[in-house]
Amino acid sequence: MLPSGFVTTLHDAITRAQAWLLAHQAPDGHWVGELEANTTITSEYLLLCHLIDRVDRKKEAKAVRYLRRRQLPDGSFNLFEDGPANLSATIKAYFAMKLAGVRPADSAMVAARERIREMGGPVKADVFTKILLALFGEYDWNGVPAMPVEIMLLPRPFFLFNIYEVSYWSRTVIVPLLIIMDRKPVKWLPPHLALDELWPDSREKTSLRFPRVPEPFTWRKLFWKNFFIAVDDGLKIWERFTKRPLRKRAIEAARAWLEERLAVPGGLGGIYPAMANSILAMRLLGYPDDHPLVSGQIKEIEALAVEDDDEIHYQPCPSPVWDTALTVNALIATGRCSCRAIGRSNGRTSSPAAGRSSTATTSIPTSTTPGWFSWRSRRSGWTATPRRPRRSSASAGSSACRARTGAGRRSTPTTTVST
């Protein structure tokens, strides 16, 4: 049995947490907090501003202060708290700081540059970093895996691959990226902003070919790695030397897919990478910056900013659905079932995918275990209702409250979700 002093301390901590949560509920019933992430989104935002000529020097200076604070003692940047150095995150931060005017001789830049070279330079970075560098002419597009826009035309029943075989978030990133990789645009930088210093060997001597021997080595990995390298080589030959009669039709299909979804508030997919890619894709298709389909995405990206007097950084996406569901779950689990608070939140959680036209049927698991939610589809989006837990002495006290808020309804929902 736990000591009474410990139980009292724990009870007081839970009570304070409950009070804090209830005090921070939004007037319409939802909860939302900052979605913490690593530095890559902020770095990518600074680079995007240079790509589309929307540089704000004051914000840039604040973002640089944020990046400096997040830099590790060895000069690198990581992907999670106390995590190891990550090459791609470090390259993006270095590049963003350099375009923001930080001198290469700055101690933070020197340390980052040394770590990048130690880890292999741009050729060892991930594919998305290589694409970002290629947009500035700092990496050859031939070193980026092929992804032909004709993928848009692969039908859903096609068993190998089609855009509906991946998650919705992935799809919102891929579709505009297909247009970008078809056009392969380059915004050339002046020589003093180039990244020659990040290459351990000169660019001319560095092979951009993907290594054929996997690390760590297994025969299975060797087979699949070389299989995909062969597919990539074949696609690049096909792209360069064939007439590609379906290319124009595929681009129009991607355009139509984007136009329909960019007209919905909330940003494409509700996530930064998709919104940033869509801005670049629509500009490549001839849409001006003041077009609602472009300016709307810029506005949604700006809404992701977390700013104070000294710093600014950007979230990957807003998180009211997660935060509201987790908060309601925590309040119910700890016996603080405020009918008014829970009732206000009921029906306020909506998916960023709501309102899209192409559909995918998703079966939502149901359970009577405390902590699960019953998801119901409404015209305005998804709504979450906390389900009735198994009766126990711990939950009996709040059963009346759940009955009043409608949380005890049973359903077996198979929800058609617009994606």
| 329 Cα distance to chain centroid | 25
Tokens of 179: 């247009």
Domains of the chain (ranges, CATH numbers): 40-314 (1.50.10.20), 319-418 (no CATH)
Burial group, residue 243, by CB count within 10 angstroms (0-12, 13-18, 19+): exposed
The answer, as to whether pTM is greater than 0.85, is no
pLDDT one-digit tens code per residue, 151-190? 999 988 776 788 998 999 999 999 999 999 999 999 999 9
CA distance 55 to 58: 9
In whole angstroms, how far apart are CA 55 and each of 58, 194, 267, 341, 419? 9, 18, 21, 42, 33
Q: Residues near 136 by Cβ (< 8 Å), separated by ≥ 6?
A: 47, 50, 51, 95, 186, 187, 188, 189
Tens-place pLDDT, residues 233-277: 999 999 999 999 999 999 999 999 999 999 999 999 999 999 999
Other Cβ atoms less than 10 A from the Cβ of 399: the count is: 15
Amino acid at 323: D
Distance (Å, whole) CA 279 – CA 284: 9
- For residues 133 and 84, give the distance between their C-alpha atoms in angstroms, rounded to a whole number: 23
- For 56-107, how does the pLDDT look when each residue is reduced to its tens digit (9 = 90+)? 999 999 999 999 999 999 999 999 999 999 999 999 999 999 999 999 999 9
| CA-angle at 282, arms to 281 and 287, nearest 5° | 150
From residue 320, alpha-carbon distances to 38, 79, 317 in Å are 19, 23, 10
- Give 231's contacts (C-beta < 8 A, 6+ positions apart): none
